[in-house]
Amino acid sequence: MGILTDMATATFTVKGMTCGHCVAAVSDEVRRVPGVRGVDVDLASGSLHVESDEPVAPAAIVAAVEEAGYEVVA
């Protein structure tokens, strides 16, 4: 496989983030999930975009978000 097709991406919606500290807390926790290579969080929309070396179980991302103190709603 080529470089691009080795990547997996997934998008979630996170509820409860109100400021940049919240974004940082979610990013930090999700970034620690094994296999995750990149995380992008949009405060306004609650969008959480995850790039990983291979597909990561959504439950692992949900758990990381909850560890940070927030909730995945989609």
- Contact residues for a copy of itself, defined by CB under 8 A: 18-19, 21-22, 25
Nearer to a copy of itself, 51 or 71 (CB): 71
Encoded amino acid at 30, one letter: V
- Tokens found for residue 60: 């692992």
Nearer to a copy of itself, 22 or 41 (CB): 22
Q: How near is the Cβ of 17 to a copy of itself at its closest, in Å?
A: 8
CA dist 6 → 37, 60, 71 (Å): 12, 19, 28
Nearer to a copy of itself, 3 or 21 (CB): 21
Q: How near is the Cβ of 19 to a copy of itself at its closest, in Å?
A: 5
Q: How near is the Cβ of 28 to a copy of itself at its closest, in Å?
A: 12
Q: Determine phi and psi for 2, rounding to 5 degrees.
A: -80, 175
Q: Is 56 exposed, middle or buried (0-12, 13-18, 19+ CB in 10 A)?
A: buried
